[in-house]
Structures are given as structure tokens and as C-alpha cells.
């Protein structure tokens, strides 16, 4: 996934509900009045019963979903870790998205040249033996502006739709996940007004084509924070409201909150704002799937001494699977941050080239199994249609201990809400 800071803002409050007042007066003959009075009595009973039901409903939000489907992306670079455990994990997964297909032209979708063919084939065969749906992700791997230009031309857009349709049919896939991130992170905000309607037309046409073939369409897109289209609205170029009727699922990429500077990966208040923004725009929780991270980042925060520049480490990634080893090797002490639902720790790293030596200070933020559960609870609380794990191979047993009880049987809501 493309790395970018996603600055969160508070969604705009909704429009207040108004009450309608009716006229119950009646003029007529006495027998008519008796008949009508009886009818009014019955009507009053009905109205009071309905009011009681509404009152109960208005006592609070609907109860959380008793379970929540789990989808997962599967990057090619994690297959060595994902494959040994796949058969026992996949039984809990609804949709699996292989993450190694790139759109490199209007008529070309290729396998990433860095992907290992043997691991790919074994992975896909395992998914096909299971009950999980195989829904590969297609990434926009073109230079900035090229995909936007394709979608702006109706003839080229139609060719691209047909290319994806043929790709899905040729692979006998259950559906397609579109992950076109260049609009958001490379093309520039000044292009969004032009790109937005072309993107909506593309999703509409692709949805029609895939649905005609009995396949699903998922889109994985960055978050929005309200239903507006301004600088504080998030990534409104993807127009959640307009595309929702034409897709089966929208995966909200509610992570990478901090990338270039140390900070939380997916703080709970940011996640909830992303959920509320999507709900405000679409009005349809059944179309929404919350992306949840099973990873963290490791940033350098300063140095002391004479540092050999060639040996200094920049920002790196940790996963739920790898972070415990790092903690043990560096004798670090993680601290839980309740407000973000994440963990943080620091450590010192000695850096040397044999001649010069310095100490580099580093800071790590990450999401573990408990953090996954908190985010799943938010998705359940808002009655979304699932969560999507980024990513298979990042997970460890603690992540699945958090996931499986939620999938397998109803559990009480934690009541976790962002401040």
C-alpha cells in the first residue's frame, strides 16, 4: 500500500430530524362518528404500539453484529510466512486478495516481476481448495496521471474494463479488488475534480461487466471523513456515495496514519472518523469493510556520536509476527497507549562501519492482536460488513486468537469508542 500521512478531521454533524404534525379533527353524522371513533381507537392502539417500538429503538444504537466476516490481502512478499499456516487460517476468511497483479497499460495486467511463481501457484491452489473467495487485487502501477487519462477517455475506459473482465474470466476468479491509489497519492489534488466523475463511470461500467459474469467488485480506497468535497474531507476523489450502488464492497484503508514521522498507525479516533465518514457518504454499512493493520513502523528519531551515514537505518516496518523478536533483541519495554489502541517502545541502536560509531535512537509504534480486536469491535459496533486484514503473513497467533472468537461465535460488545 502507498505510504502517506492521512490527516484526520472531525466529520460534519448530521441534519436534525424534524417531526410532522397531523390534523385528527372530524365532522359528520353520529353513526359515522361512532364508526370512526372505534377506528380511531384501534388506530391509537396501533400508533402507541409503534411509538413504543420506536422508543425502544431510540434508546440507543442497534446492537453490534454478533459476528463479522474477515477478508485478507496476501502480498507476494509475505507468502513464505503465510503459506505454512494458510490451511488452518483460511477457514476463517471470506475473501482472499492475492496482492501481486499490476495494471501497466490500458490492455495489460501483469504479475509483479518480484513475485515468486512457485509460492504464488501453491497459494492460489490452497485458496481454491477452501471455501474462501479468490478476489485478486489489481494495482495501478502506471506513472502519475496515466490511469486518470485512460479513465477520462470513454473508448480507452471501455477497453480497460474489458481487459479486467477478461483477466477475471481467464483466472476463473470469484471477483476483483481494484486498488488504484495513484489518484490519491501521485496525481495531485488539483486533478480530483476532473478525475472523480471518470472514476465513478469506470466503477459503474466495471461493476456492470463483472456482475453480468457472476463476479463481485471490491474497491480498496483511502478514507474520507465526511460527505463533503473539500480540503478537510479526506480522499473524496473516490466518491464513496456515487460508487456504493455499483460495488459489492468498499474496503476502507484506515491505516498508515503516520508514515514519515513517528506516530500511531491507525489511532482509534481516526479509524472511527473514517467509518463515520463512509457511513455518512454511503448510508449503507453493508457495503463497507474496515481495513485493519497487523503491522507497525520503526523510525529513527536522533543520533549521538560520529555516524557512518552509509550504515544508518531509515524507517523500517515491523509486523505483529516480527515485533516480539525485535523487542527481545533490543531489550525494549513496550507501553500500551489506550487512546490509540496501539503499543510504542524506544531503543538505542549502535551503528558502526568499523571506524566510526554512533548511537541511533529509534521509536516503534505497532498494532497487535488486542489492537486488531479493538478495531474489529468498532466495525461490529457500526454494523459494517467485515474487516480486511493487512496482511496475511504479518499476523501471528495472537492476531488469530483475537479474530477467531469474533468469527466463530457471538461475543459481547466491548463498547470501545473513540474519544
The per-residue pLDDT for 117 is 78
Domain 297-366 has CATH 3.10.50: yes
Domain 70-293+367-408 has CATH 3.20.20.80: yes
Is the distance from CB of 404 to CB of 65 less than 8 angstroms? no
The per-residue pLDDT for 60 is 60
Which tens digits make up the pLDDT trace of 327-356? 999 999 999 999 999 999 999 999 999 999
Question: What's the CA dihedral at 175, 110, 319, 275 to 10 degrees?
Answer: -40
Which tens digits make up the pLDDT trace of 3-60? 444 433 333 223 222 222 233 222 233 333 333 333 434 334 333 444 443 443 345 6
Q: Max alpha carbon distance in the chain (Å)?
A: 109
Separation of CA 302 from chain center:
33
The per-residue pLDDT for 33 is 32
| Structure-block grid coordinates of residue 162 | 474489458
| Structure-block grid coordinates of residue 178 | 481494484
Strand, coil or helix: what is 416?
coil
Average pLDDT for consecutive 10-residue bins of the chain (419 residues)?
38 29 30 36 40 43 82 97 94 97 98 90 96 98 98 98 98 98 97 98 98 98 96 97 98 98 98 98 97 98 94 96 98 98 98 95 98 97 97 96 66 33
The per-residue pLDDT for 407 is 52
Beta bridge partners of 137: 177
What size, in residues, is the chain? 419
The per-residue pLDDT for 404 is 85
Beta bridge partners of 335: 344
Q: Where are the domains of the chain?
A: 70-293+367-408, 297-366
The per-residue pLDDT for 273 is 98
| Structure-block grid coordinates of residue 275 | 467509518
Amino acid at each position: 500500500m502507498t505510504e502517506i500521512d492521512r490527516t484526520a478531521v472531525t466529520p460534519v454533524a448530521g441534519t436534525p430530524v424534524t417531526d410532522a404534525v397531523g390534523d385528527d379533527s372530524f365532522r359528520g353524522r353520529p353513526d359515522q362518528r361512532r364508526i370512526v371513533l372505534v377506528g380511531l381507537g384501534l388506530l391509537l392502539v396501533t400508533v402507541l404500539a409503534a411509538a413504543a417500538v420506536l422508543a425502544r429503538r431510540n434508546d440507543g444504537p442497534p446492537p453490534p453484529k454478533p459476528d463479522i466476516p474477515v477478508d485478507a490481502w496476501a502480498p507476494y512478499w509475505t507468502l513464505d510466512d503465510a503459506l505454512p499456516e494458510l490451511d488452518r487460517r483460511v477457514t476463517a476468511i471470506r475473501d482472499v486478495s492475492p496482492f501481486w497483479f499490476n495494471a501497466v497499460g490500458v490492455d495489460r495486467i501483469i504479475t509483479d516481476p518480484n513475485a515468486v511463481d512457485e509460492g504464488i501457484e501453491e497459494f492460489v491452489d490452497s485458496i481454491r481448495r477452501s471455501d474462501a473467495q479468490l478476489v485478486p487485487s489489481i494495482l495501478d502501477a502506471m506513472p502519475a496521471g496515466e490511469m486518470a487519462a485512460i479513465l477520462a477517455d470513454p473508448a480507452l475506459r471501455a477497453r480497460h474494463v474489458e481487459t479486467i473482465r477478461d483477466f477475471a474470466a481467464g483466472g476463473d476468479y470469484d471477483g476483483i479488488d481494484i486498488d488504484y491509489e495513484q489518484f490519491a497519492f501521485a496525481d495531485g489534488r488539483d486533478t480530483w475534480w476532473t478525475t472523480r466523475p471518470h472514476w465513478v463511470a469506470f466503477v459503474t461500467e466495471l461493476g456492470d461487466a463483472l456482475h453480468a459474469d457472476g463476479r463481485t467488485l471490491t474497491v480498496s480506497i483511502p478514507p474520507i471523513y465526511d460527505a463533503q468535497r473539500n480540503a478537510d474531507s479526506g480522499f473524496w476523489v473516490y466518491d464513496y456515495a456515487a460508487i456504493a450502488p455499483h460495488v459489492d464492497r468498499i474496503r476502507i484503508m484506515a491505516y498508515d496514519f503516520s508514515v514519515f514521522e513517528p506516530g500511531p498507525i491507525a489511532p482509534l479516533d481516526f479509524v472511527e472518523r473514517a467509518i463515520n465518514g463512509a457511513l455518512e457518504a454511503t448510508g449503507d454499512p453493508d457495503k463497507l469493510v474496515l481495513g485493519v493493520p497487523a503491522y507497525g513502523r520503526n523510525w529513527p528519531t536522533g543520533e549521538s556520536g560520529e555516524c557512518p551515514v552509509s550504515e544508518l537505518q531509515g524507517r523500517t516496518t515491523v509486523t505483529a509476527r516480527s515485533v516480539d523478536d525485535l523487542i527481545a533483541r533490543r531489550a525494549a519495554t513496550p507501553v500500551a497507549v489506550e487512546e490509540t489502541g496501539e503499543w510504542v517502545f524506544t531503543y538505542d541502536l549502535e551503528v558502526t562501519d568499523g571506524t566510526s560509531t554512533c548511537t541511533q535512537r529509534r521509536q516503534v509504534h505497532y498494532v497487535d492482536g488486542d489492537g486488531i480486536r479493538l478495531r474489529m469491535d468498532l466495525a461490529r459496533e457500526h454494523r459494517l460488513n467485515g474487516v480486511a486484514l493487512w496482511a496475511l503473513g504479518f499476523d501471528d497467533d495472537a492476531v488469530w486468537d483475537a479474530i477467531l472468537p469474533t468469527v466463530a461465535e457471538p461475543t459481547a460488545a466491548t463498547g470501545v469508542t473513540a474519544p
